[in-house]
Amino acid sequence: MRMIIEAGEEGIFQSELWKRLGINSREGSRLSLRFERRGLIRRERALYKGRWTYRLISKRKNVSLRSIADCPCLLCDDIDKCYEGGTVSPISCERLTEWILLLAKRDGMRSP
Ligand code: SF4
């Protein structure tokens, strides 16, 4: 799974993965079908070196700390008092809500 995740959005051809893992195509096919059934990957039919095969693409993404670098909570003076029912709460915090809405707007702009 790590190799598939590291292959990113482009994924990895299954034959390439079998070669790297040192397993045969029968074992490899069983493995990729198991990953697909568990919802960990999607398989896309693709032409590779003149043959039809599958490209394996992870549904999981590597998470980067950069994605939360500008979260207001990281520099908030009230973080010790912030919890559900506390003096301040993430449920009603305007700064957190604005940040989440900004992320949603950015993600929306990235989607086709
Ligand atoms: S939710 Fe709001 S109040 Fe709570 S830690 Fe984050 S920024 Fe601070």
* Residue 28 CB less than 6 A away from ligand 1: no
Global pTM reads 0.55
Could you tell me the residue ranges of all domains in the chain? 2-58, 65-110
54 vs 111: CA distance, rounded Å: 25
* Domain with residues 2-58, CATH architecture: Orthogonal Bundle (1.10)
CB 56 within 8 A of CB 32: yes
Share of the chain above pLDDT 90, in %: 65
The predicted-structure confidence for 62-92, as pLDDT tens digits, reads as follows: 777 888 889 999 999 999 999 999 999 999 9
Q: Which of 108, 21, 11 is closest to 58 using CA atoms? A: 11
Helix (H) or strand (E) holding 108: helix 94-110
* Residue 100 CB less than 6 A away from ligand 1: no
